[in-house]
Amino acid sequence: MMSALWIAACSLLLLSSSSGVEGIGVNYGMIANNLPSPDKVIALYRSRNITDVRLFHPNTTVLAALQGSGLGVVLGTLNEDLARLASDASFAASWVQSYVQPFAGAVRFRYVAAGNEVIPGDLAAYVLPAMRNLESALHAAGIAGVPVTTAVSTSVLGSSYPPSQGAFSEAALPTVGPIASFLASRSTPLLVNVYPYFAYAADPSSVQLDYALLEPASAAAVTDGGVAYTNMFDAIVDAVHAALDRVAGAQGQEGVEVVVSETGWPSGGGGAGASVGNAAAYVNNVVRHVGSGRGTPRRPGKALEAFIFAMFNENEKPEGVEQHFGLFQPDMTEVYHVDFTAAGSSS
């Protein structure tokens, strides 16, 4: 009892004294057998001035370590739980009662995300019903202000170039359209995983590396509706914005905003362009770009939020570049340096 009160008091103090600018978070992936304990990991986030964390699935040890940390938390569900979350309201209620309610006083939840990268696909139809059941369960538990959304990959797009022509694919539209409408009516963003790296690696001879790396000196690769795109990150994000605006326009709604739930660059693993130097350049450029608050050409001046993938190199992911997206080695030494204070300054 004493300690619960103490934690609650601490977290109030942290929340009220927090002047950190929301903007850059880091994904806490756990597909590894050699990671530090969650309390050490959360301390590492704080010591590096990382303000937000995304969890792919709930874990009560991790949530306990987040109590009083002041970090903003995006909490995902396992994809394997989507069918049950969609069909069984009592399962959604117990999910909220296990993972959100006990921590809500001392953990600053930002979003609950139903599933990751399942649209289009066999699980896609479960996403919106799962979102509805989770929202009802949160409301029933008296937890206000934690919106429910989902995370998609850019495979939801059928067209993405030039960015203003962004549109959802025929395979994705039947599920992502109604989800966009749900999000629009609540002013909740869609989470989108954005990887210029994979576009570059698929075709390194025709994609300019500087454009993929957001290098400031990169020449504009495309001029679209009078706007010049000088980096692929903005081009991808705006293609998703355009697809969302298309759906919203058809329904007389405002366009949905995007939170970049994953972006990163591998520091090794043998892929084209996978190097420590390129990874350091990409991630530091993203932090500065997002931190500038300039937004993207389609949403100028509208600060974007992004989560870097990922905190650690994960040794149980598939071999190759997938094991090399970490900012840190499992022993908590840096793979390369990232200056997260740049997220709060304008450049």
Ligand X SMILES: *[C@@H]1O[C@H](CO)[C@@H](O)[C@H](O)[C@H]1NC(C)=O
Taking the CA atoms of residue 149, residue 153, residue 158 and residue 159 in that order, the dihedral angle to the nearest 10 degrees is 100
Stretch that binds ligand X, among 59-67, 91-99, 202-210, 292-300 (CB under 6 A): 59-67
Helix (H) or strand (E) holding 149: strand 148-153
What residues numbered 15-34 form the site for ligand X, per CB under 6 A?
30
Interaction between residue 169 and ligand X (CB under 6 A)? no
Active site residue 117: yes
Q: Does 341 bind ligand X (CB under 6 A)?
A: yes
Stretch that binds ligand X, among 58-66, 161-169, 228-236, 300-308 (CB under 6 A): 58-66
Closest to 242 in 3D by CA, of 176, 164, 172: 164
Q: Applying CB under 6 A, which of residues 29, 38, 115, 264 lies at the interface with ligand X?
A: 38
Q: How near is the Cβ of 55 to ligand X at its closest, in Å?
A: 10
Q: Burial of 293 by CB count in 10 Å (0-12 exposed, 13-18 middle, 19+ buried)?
A: middle
- Number of helices and strands (H, E) in the chain? 11, 14
Cβ–Cβ < 8 Å for 185, 179: no
In the complex, what is the shortest distance from the CB of residue 338 to ligand X, in angstroms, rounded to a whole number? 9
Q: Which of 11, 48, 68, 126 binds ligand X (CB under 6 A)?
A: 48
Q: How far is the CB of 35 from ligand X (least distance, A)?
A: 6
**Interaction of residue 62 with ligand X, rule CB under 6 A:** yes
346 binds ligand X (CB under 6 A): no
DSSP reduced 3-state for 290: helix
* 84: exposed, middle or buried (Cβ count in 10 Å: 0-12, 13-18, 19+): middle
Which residue from 14, 31, 49, 227 is in contact with ligand X, where contact means CB under 6 A? 49
Task: Kindly state the DSSP code that residue 334 receives in the 8-state scheme.
Answer: B
- Is 262 noted as a catalytic residue in this protein? yes
Give the nearer residue to ligand X in terms of CB position, either 37 or 185. 37
**Distance in Å, CB of 278 to ligand X, minimum:** 22
The least CB distance from residue 87 to ligand X, in Å, is 23
- Contact region with ligand X (CB under 6 A), list: 57-65, 127-135, 156-164, 283-291: 57-65
Distance CA 150, CA 198 (A): 22
* Count, residues near ligand X per rule CB under 6 A: 8
* Chain position carrying tokens 């840190």: 328
- CB hemisphere CA count around 303 (13 angstroms): 14
The residues carrying an active-site annotation are 117, 262
Given the rule CB under 6 A, which residues bind ligand X? 30, 38, 48-49, 59, 61-62, 341
